Structure 1
Amino acid sequence: MMSQPDQPLTLVIIDDHPMVRAGIRFELEKHPEAVQVIGEAVDVTSAISLVQELQPQVALLDVHMPGGNGGGGAEVAARCRNMQTKFLALSVSDSAEDVVAVIRAGARGYVTKTISTEELVQSILRVGAGDAAFSPRLAGFVLDAFGTAQVSETDEELDLLSAREQEVMRLIARGYTYKETAAELFISIKTVETHVSAVLRKLQLSNRNELTHWATVRNLV
């Protein structure tokens, strides 16, 4: 069991279901010595704003959420990757695809909503201390994904894209809007739209959600 921190870890709850947020808060508030809940968010956009504003030590992150660019919890983690906040995914889903996507986006752990309160608190403490935390068997998905050879820069599909298209692809896959991508690369929004269309056509993808998945499984975001 993890030792208690000198001060309770600050934490935000990110979930689009009010009853779920209320239940999690109720259970965690039974452990004020370990965790202090300082905020809640209901979708991707509000989650990013909340983390940027409060900079909690840990964020409990639902995987499937509305808002943003359709990337759900993985989008939140990716957009906040360079901040001090550590993300622990808490989801009803135990699919390998969801687990790997959110971990590759920057989360430190992934537990399912069948977890007990004590186990959740311990997982939060582990993640807050910089360690990983997973529900049983989910860690295997991550080991399988990261234990295999990563797609290199000479990947045949990646080679179909120009250098600029690759830059645009990575930013869009991380959840940047067209406007934000244009500002980051000092190009026009129209040029971004043109590049995204070319990327989707060359990779035979239908939308940016598929593009995010394509880039995530190749560890390109």
Structure 2
Amino acid sequence: MRQKVTILVLDDHPVVRQGVVAMIQAYGEGFHVVGEACSPDEGLAKAAALRPDVVVTDLIFNGSSRNGIDVIRELQMQGVPSRCVLITANMQGHYMVEAFKAGAKAFLYKESDAREYVKAIEAAFEGMTYFPPELPQELDRWSRLPRLTPSEERLMPYVAKGLTSKEIAREYNHLDSPKVIEPRTIDQHKSNIKQKFAIDSMGGLVAFAIKYCDDNNLDYRNLQIQAKRSLLGF
């Protein structure tokens, strides 16, 4: 008789988390949920203590600077042997690439049915991979999209916050930094982004930055520029 597959479920929405737990226990023969967590910190602590066979983690945790990919990466770094399944409401190529690079074994939609959850968990437990059938097409589409450079990406939270190039440069240059940033340097980054993504106005750029930050779990709403010196290394 096969051993029980022990599972830890991480999701910050209690109703969703409890629904996933109930579904796994009802339809996963030989599955046993040994713990639940509502945040990356709690999940990492419970995974280290319980050492489940499989960790099922949500991608985005509201109010946390870390996401499910960070959880997977840290479990690998800490030597926790759990195999990971990442669930998300939005299938996006860059998340899938990063998830598998971090060590995820399976990737599926949060709203998948019980059969898909069972397949994903079983695959992860066996050390195999599992992903939705549209993954190759999504990765191909994603690979063809334009990309932000590291400097452009670092600019996104500040644009989303509504700061002008002069305001960003002024805040940065107030810091004890050996490098002085000119507003025209930031203007050039903005111009490059607008051209790359066919954005025709500053309002459009701000909207793009907000969506980019939301999609990539970058906190711009609570941004404290003086405390974010490292992010301004343009």
The AA in structure 2 aligned to 1:13 is V
After TM superposition, the runs of 4+ consecutive aligned structure 1 residues lying more than 6 A away are 143-146
Does the C-alpha gap of structure 1 residues 85 and 19 become closer, same or farther in structure 2, counting only changes over 3 Å?
Answer: same
Deviations 1:139-192 (A, max 9, x none): 45568889xxxxxxxxx99xxxxxxxxxxxxxxxxxxxxxxxxxxxxxxxxxxx
Asked if 1:113 is matched to 2:110, the reply is yes
Partner of 1:56: 52
Is the 8 Å Cα contact of residues 56 and 85 (structure 1) preserved in structure 2? yes
In the alignment, residue 132 of structure 1 is paired with which amino acid?
T
Instruction: Give a deviation string over 1:74-102, Cα, whole Å, max 9, x none.
Output: 11111111320011011111111222222
Q: 1:13-28 maps to which residues of 2 (within 5 A)?
A: 13-28=9-24
1:128-143 to 2 correspondences below 5 Å:
128-141=125-138
Higher relative contact order, chain-length normalized (CA < 8 Å, sep 6+):
1
Pairing of 1:88-127 with structure 2 (within 5 A) = 88-127=85-124
Is the 1:7–1:33 contact (alpha carbons within 8 Å) kept by the matching residues of 2? no
Structure-1 separation of matches of 2:40 and 2:113: 26
- TM-fit CA distance, 1:47: 0.9
Map Cα deviations across residues 34-67 of structure 1 (whole Å, 9 max, x no partner).
3110000001111111111111010111000146
Q: Structure 2 length as normaliser, TM-score?
A: 0.57
Match of 1:46 among 38, 42, 48: 42
The one of 25, 39, 47 equivalent to 1:29 is 25
Separation (CA, whole Å) in 2 of partners of 1:110 and 1:32? 17
When the two chains are superposed, the root-mean-square deviation of aligned CA atoms in Å is 2.9
Q: Which amino acid aligns with 2:123?
A: R
Unaligned runs of 5+ in 1: 147-155, 158-193, 205-221
Matched residues in 1 for 2:38 and 2:12: separation?
A: 4
Gaps of 5+ in 2: 144-149, 152-226
Count of aligned pairs between the two proteins = 153
Contact 2:93 2:142 in 1 (8 A): no
After superposition, residues 1-221 of structure 1 pair within 5 angstroms as: 6-31=2-27, 33-66=29-62, 70-81=65-76, 82-141=79-138, 197=229, 200-202=231-233, 204=234
Question: TM-score, normalised on structure 1?
Answer: 0.61
| Bigger CA radius of gyration | 2
Residue identity over aligned pairs, in percent, reads 23
Hey, what does 1:218 align to over in structure 2?
A: none
* Secondary structure at the counterpart of residue 41 of structure 2: helix
8 A Cα contact 1:77 1:107, kept in partner? yes
Do the aligned partners of 1:43 and 1:67 also contact (CA within 8 Å) in 2?
no
